[in-house]
Amino acid sequence: MENTHKISFVNKYLFSTDHKTIGAQYTIMGVLMAAVGGFLAYIFRYNLAFPGQNIPLFGALGPQQYNSFVTIHGMIMVFWVGMPVLLAGFGNFLIPMMIGTDDMAFPTLNMMSFWIFFLSAVILLASFFVPGGAFGGGWTMYPPLSANGYMVRDPNFLSALLSGSSLLILAVALEFVAMLMGGINFLVTTFNKRTKGMTAFRVPLVVWYINIAAVIFMFSVGPLVAGAFMLLFDVVLGTGFYDPARGGDPILFQHLFWFFGHPEVYVLLLPSLGVLAEVIPVFSRKPLFAYKKLVYLALLSAVLSVVVWAHHQFIAGIDPRMATFFSIGTIIISIPFAGIFLSFMATLWGGSIRFKLPMLWALGFIALFLIGGLTGLFLGSNAFDIYAHDTYFVVTHFHYTLFPDIFFGFFAAFYFWFPKFSGRTLNNTLGHLHFWLTFVFFNCTWFVLFFNGLAGQHRRIHDYSAFSNFSGGIYQTFEKFSTIGAICLILTQFIFLINVIMSMSKKKNAVKNPWEATTLEWVADSPPPHGNFPVMPEVFRGPYDYSVPGEAKDFLPQNQQ
Amino acid sequence: METTLTNPVASRKFISDGVLGMIFLLTTEAMLFAGFISAYIVNHAGATMWPPADQPRLPIGITAINTIILLASGFLLFFFSKNFKSNQANGKNGLGILMLSMLLGLTFVSIQGIEWVRLIGYGLTTSSSLYASFFYLIIGFHGLHVLVGLAILAYLFNKVKNSKSTEDAKNTINACKLYWYFVVGIWPLLYYLVYLS
Ligand SMILES: [Cu+2]
């Protein structure tokens, strides 16, 4: 008896092929990795504010460790938090529910996708414990540091294979395989498994955006994998692809990396924007403004995203004419995103807005992303970028884009769909506390660092004591202010944790459709059983029929005739 | 349980799940090779002498024959899939053709392997020059894809042999053959770039 029970536990929670379980696995794994990434950030931020001092819960931080921690922090937040939570997590939870089907097209592939992802995370974390420590040459892995610099000390095959840089490359490659399997599943499911009546332009925008993100990912990842393998062979097989002394070219890696690296930004951004496109109409009680055009804008941005990459290389010695081309491309690509945000504004305009928790996160996202997006325009023009390159200005810019994207996007989705997928409700007061403190402390952490960046402070130096213009005075005060903000930001997340634990320990009390929304997932039970719907719902209308004139209710579910 | 919940619009599938998934996978694969090829072209164009004077030359002749062997394998697979239904109607499954296609694929990698061993003996190693590095990188990755392709064809062989429904077998054939077409189809380009240019 007991034995059979155990097997069913393994099948139900570990090797489940149910899309909701896999979505939860990805999300939980992403949150755990975010804790690791946040802890690393705490350590190096502490060192920047109080250089040379003993760091509580850690100890002294050496320069090499500082480099490793900064590198792996970036890697974790992009590839082990952003990707699993926004792409794999949202995709798995939402796509089958919103298009009205029982599961993914390839459930077994889906399960394998998660376990390959899990393996990649284990390899990444294991790289902290190999001789020489985790890779510390920056998250972009530029050669020569990654190929034959001081990171790889002992160039025999086995020790080279077990070095921080090759383990990192290996982990990233496996993570890509996992996301590729997920992406194929999302696309095939969306193409082939939509329920009756769910035509292309009745599909909720978030499903569109996750699929477009998957396409961008699949189109751009190949060259990076090619570049990464060449890098791996430089490390372990002694090839010289990136070694100028042997005829190779280190800039080549930068091209291959950023051909993927820039589109990756949109892979992370589009799923979150999709979440906003679901949340904002529900809490404005208005149809999403220009729904179809938002699909076209995202497709346009997908096309443009692969012709802007060299804006990361303005100081790498590329041809100035090429730099101008990429500058113009970069500034043009802000147009579709400006369009998307304007549509959100227009949706809010004149709506009867309900300031519920998901809506607060969505509005916070817009407010912060505005700052991130506008500073991006500065950096896109090569004249300014040559000055600001590799300063805190850049770091602050991308934290103002990626933090709202990954965390505000995630929390907007979490507070919105948690009642649906867990069947339980969250505490509202704790939720408000969580939102407001996160919003305030994020700005405390980052806004001041714009000034450090404009003063020319470089991002990759672990101790500024030797630089008198930064080691005392206002810029060091800013560093301290930022660190205290970061510590408070991290502590604030415990409020969230407590809220979730409290809610999970209570009875299931969520209703089917707490927000009075129209899309199909709200038709299912909370939580949805295996197979999602007792009978597949038939769809008769688009996803955003709010406040339709002449109707008794102010929302019409998609399955209502 | 799942069968009672089958989607009411399964008939909407213009393309089967397997074929569609394979198309997306191969798009990614094509971009992977595009990455290798563009890196190769950039380095080739920037090099003063290609191949370097002190490096052994690649076996152009035998590889030309090998190219024909691989193309023949692809053609046989095409032939197999084209005649699958009529063969089945005649009470045969045509698996002999598929077997022959796989054997030709196996011959291709075997010859490649023998050539690699000889080249290493002549002093062409991964670290002997950039020229050699690119050779092993690109041709090696293609060889890896041939091996994966053969595994896929072996899976297909097994599936067709044991499959009860013709429709099911047909879908598997359509998905699996795409992978082999990709492996075969990209080879002449790689042969031209790496061996001839
Ligand atoms: Cu970029």
Position B10 scores a pLDDT of 47
SS3 B189: helix
Distance CA A558, CA A518 (A): 6
Q: CB neighbours of A283 closer than 8 A, spacing ≥ 6?
A: A353, A354, A355, A356, A358, A359, A362, A515
- A131-140, A156-165, A338-347: lowest mean pLDDT where? A156-165
CB B34 within 8 A of CB A223: yes
State yes or no: pLDDT of A15 exceeds 50. yes
A314 part of a folded domain: yes
Cβ-based contacts under 8 A for chains A and B: 126
CB B24 within 8 A of CB A190: no
Percent of chain B whose predicted confidence (pLDDT) is above 90: 67
E strand residue ranges, A392-503 = none
Measure CB to CB from residue A238 to each of B2, B8, B127 and give the nearest one.
B127
Mean pLDDT, to the nearest integer, of A58-66? 91
User: Residue A104 C-alpha to ligand 1 middle, in angstroms?
Assistant: 32
Position A318 scores a pLDDT of 82
Q: Counting Cβ atoms within 10 Å, is residue A9 exposed (0-12), middle (13-18) or buried (19+)?
A: exposed
Position A6 scores a pLDDT of 52
User: Residue A305 C-alpha to ligand 1 middle, in angstroms?
Assistant: 8
CB A36 within 8 A of CB A79: no
> What's the whole-number average pLDDT of chain A?
92
Amino acid identity for residue B139 in this structure:
I
Using a CB-CB cut-off of 8 Å, the residues of chain A touching B8 are 195-196, 536, 538
Instruction: Tell me phi and psi for residue A427, to 5 degrees.
Output: -75, 125
Position B168 scores a pLDDT of 83
Q: Which of B109, B166, B167, B173 is nearest to B143 (CA)?
A: B109
Q: Does B174 touch chain A (CB under 8 A)?
A: no
A245 to chain B: nearest residue by CA? B130
State yes or no: pLDDT of A3 exceeds 50. no
State yes or no: pLDDT of A220 exceeds 60. yes
Mean pLDDT, to the nearest integer, of B56-74? 95
Measure CB to CB from residue B28 to each of A218, A240, A533 and give the nearest one.
A218
Position B140 scores a pLDDT of 96
Q: Which of B171, B13, B2 is nearest to A189 (CA)?
A: B13
SS3 A496: helix
The verdict on a CB contact (< 8 Å) between A187 and B20 is yes
Distance CA A479, CA A475 (A): 6
What tokens does A399 get? 């934290």
Q: Residue A151's pLDDT band (boundaries 50, 70, 90)?
A: very low
| Mutation target vs A (from B6, B130, B141; most A CBs, 10 A cutoff) | B130
CB A12 within 8 A of CB A21: yes
State yes or no: pLDDT of A219 exceeds 80. yes
State yes or no: pLDDT of A4 exceeds 60. no
What tokens does A43 get? 């350590």
> What's the whole-number average pLDDT of chain B?
89
CB A116 within 8 A of CB A178: yes
Measure CB to CB from residue B25 to each of A184, A226, A256 and give the nearest one.
A184
The verdict on a CB contact (< 8 Å) between A192 and B31 is no
The verdict on a CB contact (< 8 Å) between A195 and B39 is no
State yes or no: pLDDT of B92 exceeds 80. no
State yes or no: pLDDT of A160 exceeds 90. no
Q: CB neighbours of A305 closer than 8 A, spacing ≥ 6?
A: A216, A220, A262, A263, A265, A266, A333
Position A514 scores a pLDDT of 94
User: Could you write out the DSSP letters of every residue in A64-113?
Assistant: HHHHHHHHHHHHIIIIIIIIIIIIIIHHHHHHHHHHT-SS-S-HHHHHHH
User: Residue A226 C-alpha to ligand 1 middle, in angstroms?
Assistant: 19
A41 part of a folded domain: yes
The verdict on a CB contact (< 8 Å) between A227 and B39 is yes
Q: Residue A11's pLDDT band (boundaries 50, 70, 90)?
A: confident
DSSP letter (8 states) at residue A244: G
Using a CB-CB cut-off of 8 Å, the residues of chain A touching B175 are none
Using a CB-CB cut-off of 8 Å, the residues of chain B touching A102 are 2, 5, 7
What tokens does A351 get? 């709506």
DSSP letter (8 states) at residue A129: G
Preceding peptide of A107 cis, ω within 30°: no
Measure CB to CB from residue B31 to each of A185, A222, A538 and give the nearest one.
A222
Position B7 scores a pLDDT of 46
Using a CB-CB cut-off of 8 Å, the residues of chain B touching A239 are 126-127, 130, 133, 136-137
Mean pLDDT, to the nearest integer, of A203-230? 95
Position B4 scores a pLDDT of 38
The verdict on a CB contact (< 8 Å) between B15 and A101 is no
- A208-222, A339-353, B12-26: lowest mean pLDDT where? B12-26
What tokens does A159 get? 């020790």
Q: Which domain holds residue A450?
A: 16-523
A1 part of a folded domain: no
Distance CA A248, CA A355 (A): 57
Distance CA B104, CA B71 (A): 9
- A285-294, B64-73, B86-95: lowest mean pLDDT where? B86-95
Report chain A's C-alpha Rg in angstroms: 24
Using a CB-CB cut-off of 8 Å, the residues of chain A touching B2 are 102-103, 531
Position A238 scores a pLDDT of 83
Percent of chain A whose predicted confidence (pLDDT) is above 90: 73
A549 part of a folded domain: no
CB A286 within 8 A of CB A257: no
State yes or no: pLDDT of A470 exceeds 90. no
Distance CA B98, CA B93 (A): 10
DSSP letter (8 states) at residue B126: T
B6 to chain A: nearest residue by CA? A102
Task: Kindly report the nearest CA distance between residue B116 and chain A, in angstroms.
Answer: 16
A235 to chain B: nearest residue by CA? B127
Q: CB neighbours of A264 closer than 8 A, spacing ≥ 6?
A: A78, A217, A220
What tokens does A450 get? 């714009």
Amino acid identity for residue A351 in this structure:
G
Phi-psi region of A350 (alpha: psi -120 to 50; beta: other; left: phi over 0): left
Prediction pTM value: 0.94
The verdict on a CB contact (< 8 Å) between B20 and A225 is no
CATH of the domain spanning B36-42+58-196, picked from 1.20.120.80, 3.30.70.60, 3.40.390.10, 3.30.300.130? 1.20.120.80
Report chain B's C-alpha Rg in angstroms: 20
A58-63: long-range contacts (C-beta < 8 A, 24 or more apart)? A61/A462, A63/A462, A63/A463
- B171 vs B33, higher pLDDT: B33
Q: Which of A211, A273, A267 is nearest to A84 (CA)?
A: A267
B50 to chain A: nearest residue by CA? A247
Position A47 scores a pLDDT of 94
Q: Which pLDDT tens digit goes with each residue over A369-408?
A: 999 999 988 898 888 888 999 999 999 999 999 999 999 9
Task: Kindly report the nearest CA distance between residue A162 and chain B, in angstroms.
Answer: 20
Q: Counting Cβ atoms within 10 Å, is residue A417 exposed (0-12), middle (13-18) or buried (19+)?
A: buried
Mean pLDDT, to the nearest integer, of A199-227? 96
State yes or no: pLDDT of A186 exceeds 60. yes
State yes or no: pLDDT of B93 exceeds 80. no
Q: Residue A81's pLDDT band (boundaries 50, 70, 90)?
A: very high
State yes or no: pLDDT of A154 exceeds 80. no
User: Residue A351 C-alpha to ligand 1 middle, in angstroms?
Assistant: 35
The count of domains in chain A is 1
Mean pLDDT, to the nearest integer, of B170-194? 95
Distance CA A71, CA A142 (A): 11
What tokens does A512 get? 């089917």
| Mutation target vs B (from A239, A309, A532, A559; most B CBs, 10 A cutoff) | A239
**CATH number of residue A192's parent domain:** 1.20.210.10
SS3 A59: strand
The verdict on a CB contact (< 8 Å) between B43 and A533 is no
Residue whose tokens read 């670290």: B127
Distance CA A361, CA A132 (A): 41
Q: Which pLDDT tens digit goes with each residue over B103-146?
A: 999 999 999 999 999 999 999 988 889 999 999 999 999 999 99
Q: CB neighbours of A360 closer than 8 A, spacing ≥ 6?
A: A432, A435
What tokens does A13 get? 């929670």
Q: Which of A449, A85, A98 is nearest to A272 (CA)?
A: A85
Q: Which of A369, A298, A308 is nearest to A339 (CA)?
A: A298
Position B2 scores a pLDDT of 36
Distance CA B118, CA A508 (A): 69
A215 to chain B: nearest residue by CA? B24
SS3 A143: coil
